[in-house]
Structure 1
Amino acid sequence: MELRHLRYFRAVAEELHFGRAAERLHIAQPPLSQQVRQLERELGVSLLTRSTRRVELTRAGEAYLRRTIAILDAVDDAGHQARRVAQGLEGHLWIGCVGSATYSVLPRLVRALREQLPQVEISIRGEMLAPAQLDALRNRDVDIALLRPPVDDPAIRTEHVRRDRLMVAVPSAHRLASRDTLRVDDLRAEDVIAHAGQDRSVMGRLLTAMCADAGFVPQIRQEVSETSTLVTLVAAGLGIAVVPAPTADLDVAGVTYRPLEPATLGVDLVAAHLGDAAPPAVERALEVLRGLAL
């Protein structure tokens, strides 16, 4: 039995006329009759009663037609879904994101994806440091990673999303909170809350490099992986922190943000994904991301 036997039977059963069914299927009538009889012989039942004036379904034929319609519709739906998945219009997309972008870029991106790709299910892994995101990309645990460069793996492609200015998060009662702007040298005597160590965080390496250029080593009191935890510790008065500007969107009570001078001090955000191995929905999602005014 082949799908064509089911399609032939369905056409005859719905038309109740071999001639009209043959026209509908764009085949000659004799082969159609032969194929339906072959199906009946294989099943061992009569699906149709035939006379010179009419064709009717038997009870067995009525039951078989209901199942045939369900089978053929499911096959057609499967093909339609496969084409939509291949076109990136349906499927499942996992997005990883660094902490600061979790509170700024990510909400806008997810809203746009839901509007423009409603059949693509979106799952989020937020508050991920860049090394963890790169590992997740390689392991195919995420499909798109919003992270801070550099990315040195040739199998991973990146495209620039935006550049974020650096800010200093200070307790609102801290003496530095009264200043309009701060410079790196202002961190010299302060306890600092930092993103997790140099080997695990772009921001941690950046902090160390900036302070080294200014001639001192930062007094790191605590290291944390999550940006939300870092800001909470600042609010508790345990130290100050250097963060990308979007972190201010957290709006945690007791924290004041001041720009770090010079204004050229900043950190890039890129969208990273596996090259040729990326799911089709990735390029669709990147098109949506490019269309956002960030």
Structure 2
Amino acid sequence: MDLRQIRCFIAVAEELHFRRAAERVGLAQTALSAQVRRLEEEMGVALLFRTTRHVSLTQAGAVFLTEARNLLDRLDAAIAETRAVAERGLDRLRIGGIDAALAWFLPPVFEAFRSRHPGIRLTLTEVSASAQQVEALERHHIDLAFFRPPTATPGIAWETLFEEGVAIALPAGDDAADAHSLSAEALTGRSLIGYPRHARPYLADMVARCIEGLDAPPNVEMEVLDKSTLMRLVAQGTGVGLVPDWCARVGAEGVRFVPLENGPRLAFGVAWRERDAGRETLDDFLALSRSEAAHVAG
């Protein structure tokens, strides 16, 4: 059963004349008759009484006519609403983000967006790996993803919002905790808390770049998945850690963050499906994100 069969039946049921119904739907009369016959065969009931001079509805046909009209009305309403959403934007935005996005960058963007679009529902999901974020975009599980590069996936647009530096996380009572900045040499002889490469390749690479070239690199005696775990361990005096600058903005009890001199710059950005560009709500969220990024960078 398909929509053409249903539309053919409605035309015949309303015209009660096969020739006029065929002209109405733009089919040959034999083709129209075949469509209605196949519909009856699939349903297993007769919908029409046919004679050489007269066409009328059976009782089952009268019931089906009412339901078929309702079905097409609902379909037309669904199509109209879908087109309206496509024209004006999305009725909800599903955001994916790494911890930096959730804990620090996105909250003011959410607040500004909700004040402009109170009727748009926002959802936020933490996704740690860039590849998982891109996959979620491709599968339409999220509409925007905030993470760190690289990404080069066909159909996925990427924009760097800002770059940030690296800080050394030290226990609050450490002799170097009040320094204005520290070089990587300050890590010499210390126990360093790192990140497992298989699960946190970007952070593991960040640590490797920071300590590259040191004559006596620190010992990476422990690896953790989350920066929140790292900061708790630092506060307890277990070791020191290297973290993106945003962690210093959020802060952590018992931890001091000292900028690392000449450390690598860490890019942070946003990705979306290219074909979604131009939708009002998505574009407005991007505009607010760019504004917040300019504030952060300034």
Q: Which TM-score tier does this pair reach, normalised by the shorter chain?
A: 0.5 to 0.7
Aligned residue in 1 for 2:182: 182
Q: In the alignment, residue 269 of structure 1 is paired with which amino acid? A: F
**Conserved? CA contact 1:89–1:119, under 8 Å:** no
Q: Compared with structure 1, are the counterparts of its residues 287 and 75 closer, same or farther at alpha carbon in structure 2 (3 Å cutoff)?
A: farther
Structure 2 residues without counterparts, runs of 5 or longer? 1-9, 15-55, 60-71
Q: In the alignment, residue 119 of structure 1 is paired with which amino acid? A: G
Q: In the alignment, residue 156 of structure 1 is paired with which amino acid? A: I
Aligned residue in 2 for 1:231: 231
Aligned residue in 2 for 1:95: 95
Aligned residues: 232
Secondary structure of the corresponding residue to residue 231 of structure 2 = helix
**Conserved? CA contact 1:197–1:223, under 8 Å:** no
**Conserved? CA contact 1:89–1:117, under 8 Å:** no
Q: Compared with structure 1, are the counterparts of its residues 173 and 106 closer, same or farther at alpha carbon in structure 2 (3 Å cutoff)?
A: same
Whether 1:86 aligns to 2:94 is: no
Whether 1:267 aligns to 2:266 is: yes
Aligned residue in 2 for 1:104: 104
**Conserved? CA contact 2:90–2:282, under 8 Å:** no
Q: Deviations 1:90-115 (Å, cap 9, x if unpaired)? A: 42322122223322211111112212
Aligned residue in 2 for 1:161: 161
Q: Deviations 1:242-270 (Å, cap 9, x if unpaired)? A: 111111233221000111113x6321111
Within 2, Cα distance between the matches of 1:91 and 1:215?
Answer: 56
Q: In the alignment, residue 248 of structure 1 is paired with which amino acid? A: A
Q: In the alignment, residue 174 of structure 1 is paired with which amino acid? A: D
Secondary structure of the corresponding residue to residue 213 of structure 1 = coil
Q: Compared with structure 1, are the counterparts of its residues 135 and 233 closer, same or farther at alpha carbon in structure 2 (3 Å cutoff)?
A: farther
Within 1, Cα distance between the matches of 2:205 and 2:170?
Answer: 20
- Write the mapping of 1:54-93 to structure 2, written as runs, cut at 5 A: 81-87=81-87, 89-93=89-93
Structure 1 residues without counterparts, runs of 5 or longer? 6-40, 45-70
Q: Deviations 1:10-53 (Å, cap 9, x if unpaired)? A: xxxxxxxxxxxxxxxxxxxxxxxxxxxxxxx99x9xxxxxxxxx
Secondary structure of the corresponding residue to residue 221 of structure 1 = strand
Aligned residue in 2 for 1:151: 151
Q: Deviations 1:103-155 (Å, cap 9, x if unpaired)? A: 22111111122122333211112362434333433443332221112223344
| CA deviation after TM superposition for structure 1 residue 206, in Å | 1.5
Aligned residue in 2 for 1:205: 205
Moved more, 135-144 or 247-256: 135-144
Secondary structure of the corresponding residue to residue 82 of structure 2 = helix
Within 1, Cα distance between the matches of 2:164 and 2:228?
Answer: 17
| CA deviation after TM superposition for structure 1 residue 76, in Å | 9.2
Question: What is the TM-score with the length of structure 2 in the denominator?
Answer: 0.65
Moved more, 213-222 or 184-193: 213-222
